Amino acid sequence: MSFDRRKFIKRLIIAAAAIEGFFLIKGGVSKVSHIEKKKELFNAGNVNTFHSNKTYPFVTGQFFLRRFKDGGFLAMSVKCTHLGCIVDSNLKTGGYNCPCHRSQFNQFGEVLAAPATRPLDYFPITIENGELLIDTSAPVKRKSFDKSQLTYA
């Protein structure tokens, strides 16, 4: 009788370990899939609705869409690169000002005044059927602006 009890307890422990192992593996897999960010494409609208040399704020997408004189588009994050406050667009200069510690950025998102030390992040843009799709899941950090960051229709 005691032999059966030992055998039963041993099997119970093995079963519990197997169940725990299953949930650990399952939890690990679900954590990995959580880490893989899903692309979040924000449809900003048709290319032809945006005038050159103008900035358009997208509050829900948390970016500023700027169309430059040459027609190129740049979608910049509204988050200041100093400590993450939301920057305001400066209508006079076409740049951006941070209300928290007064960093200033030019129209390309480059730093004009510290304490921020790097430009505003930007989001990749693709154009499909004339629609501007902004990938807000993938902010790109940069050291400076260059034309390769612009997207053209």
Residues in contact with ligand FES by the rule CB under 6 A = 80, 82-83, 85, 98, 100-101, 103, 115-116
Neighbours of 111 (CB within 10 A): 18
Least distance (Å) from ligand FES to the CB of residue 36? 29
Least distance (Å) from ligand FES to the CB of residue 117? 10
Least distance (Å) from ligand FES to the CB of residue 113? 9
Closest CB to ligand FES among 85 and 127?
Answer: 85
Closest CB to ligand FES among 41 and 98?
Answer: 98
Residues, the chain, total? 153
Closest CB to ligand FES among 116 and 125?
Answer: 116
Dihedral pair phi/psi, residue 30, rounded to 5°: -70, -30
By three-state DSSP, how is residue 132 classified? strand
Tell me which residue has tokens 């499909």.
Answer: 128
Least distance (Å) from ligand FES to the CB of residue 151? 26
Residue 45 C-beta-side C-alpha neighbours within 13 Å: 10
Closest CB to ligand FES among 79 and 124?
Answer: 79
Closest CB to ligand FES among 104 and 135?
Answer: 104
Least distance (Å) from ligand FES to the CB of residue 108? 17
CA distance from start to end of the chain: 81
Using CA atoms, how far apart are residues 89 and 120, in angstroms rounded to an integer? Answer: 12
E strand or H helix that includes residue 77 = strand 73-77
